Amino acid sequence: MKEFKLEGKGIQLTLQDNILAVLSISPLQTVSSAYHNGGGIKPTRVILNIEVPKGYGDTKLHMNPEKLIADSANKLGIKEEFIAMITAACVKNFAIVSKRDSELGVSVIATAADDEGHTCDHAESSGEEIHAEVVEKGTINIVVVIDGNPTPPTLISSIITATEAKTAALLELDIRSLYSGREATGTITDAVVCAETGTGEPIVFGGPASKLGQLVGFCTKQAVKEAIMKGRECSPTRSLLDRLSARHLSVQKMALELSKVKALNKNKEELEQSIIEMITKDPLVASLILSAVELDKEVEYGLLPPQLGKIDKLAKSFGERVSCGGGVGTNLDETDIEGVILPPFLKRTLIGMIRNADL
């Protein structure tokens, strides 16, 4: 068993087998979205984050999650009421961030990555249409421990602040929705617990601008980022090809669409090779393609300033300019290009660069 000190007297984090546990000598007041004993303001001395054992399976888990929870609690000899979350992430890959400001302290513990390096496999962008049947990986679980005395509404407000901070971490790491490729706001199975020691004067503000909110926001964002980055597939240094694929713009899809442009005179396989070589061998080309993708995001969200003119015309000019090829836009059948189902700036940039490379 490994033990780690948290903010607050008599509170520690323990790691044993598949269980990450916050244990407190004195009762903590909590509010949570945890599966077991969550909801409402409840006192507890034990908060568990339980890793689903290998081979347990999504179906078996959902048929009888309480058995896994009970068996895990028994490992620690817990006989009293407790709060528990479940995750397919590897709990030993947890991240912990603590910060104190005078009499107020906050510790945040987050888990996200499994032992194979997978993270946020079921990331989503809140409000989109989602169809998911089996979910085995991807949960982000967060425990916020506040060494202070927030009122019940303030404690609930801390959940909102922690959730906003989690989303900020996802945005900063460019995590994308599995379902749409848009910026992820979370995963479909996330859970959060906020707990307080009740020490000191009552705290009535917990929003992002308050002292408490700033501590919760800072610690949560850093902990979530660290937890996610323990999964290699979400590393900030992952390749541009991987980042494009997460946007639902895989090399295969781009090549298939570009094969409709007869003037390129390349089949799908040849175009795949051309795209890979351009992006991996020339940092400037990769930078320009990333710029095109960011412009397409502005188009998708309706944020491109009207004074820039018509999108199609602007995208065409952009593609010709960044490809550095005089006349690369000539002899192109616009009907072919209209049939290419790719975002406008990326489409024109790829066409221009591929043609320029062949001149």
Task: Give the pLDDT confidence of 41-81 residue by residue, as tens digits.
Answer: 999 999 999 998 876 655 555 567 888 899 899 999 998 99
Q: Which of 49, 45, 3, 47 is nearest to 25 (CA)?
A: 45
8 A C-beta contact, residue 168 and residue 185: no
Residues 6+ apart with CB under 8 A from 55: none
Q: For position 274, what pLDDT does the model report?
A: 93
Q: Is the pLDDT of residue 327 over 60?
A: no
Q: Which of 76, 91, 89 is nearest to 46 (CA)?
A: 76
How far out from the chain centre does Cα 241 lie? Answer: 18
Per-residue tokens: 61: 């888990």
8 A C-beta contact, residue 150 and residue 201: no
Q: For position 66, what pLDDT does the model report?
A: 86
Q: For position 88, what pLDDT does the model report?
A: 86
Q: For position 310, what pLDDT does the model report?
A: 93
Q: Is the pLDDT of residue 325 over 60?
A: no
Prediction pTM value:
0.91
Where are any strands of DSSP class E within 213-286? Answer: none
Task: Give the pLDDT confidence of 136-183 residue by residue, as tens digits.
Answer: 567 899 999 999 999 999 999 999 999 999 999 999 999 999 999 999
Per-residue tokens: 227: 């937890």
- Give residue 331's region: left, alpha or beta (phi > 0; psi -120 to 50): left
Task: Give the pLDDT confidence of 199-223 residue by residue, as tens digits.
Answer: 999 999 888 999 999 999 999 999 9
Task: Give the pLDDT confidence of 281-310 residue by residue, as tens digits.
Answer: 989 889 999 999 999 999 999 999 999 999
Residues 6+ apart with CB under 8 A from 350: 254, 258, 275, 289, 319, 342
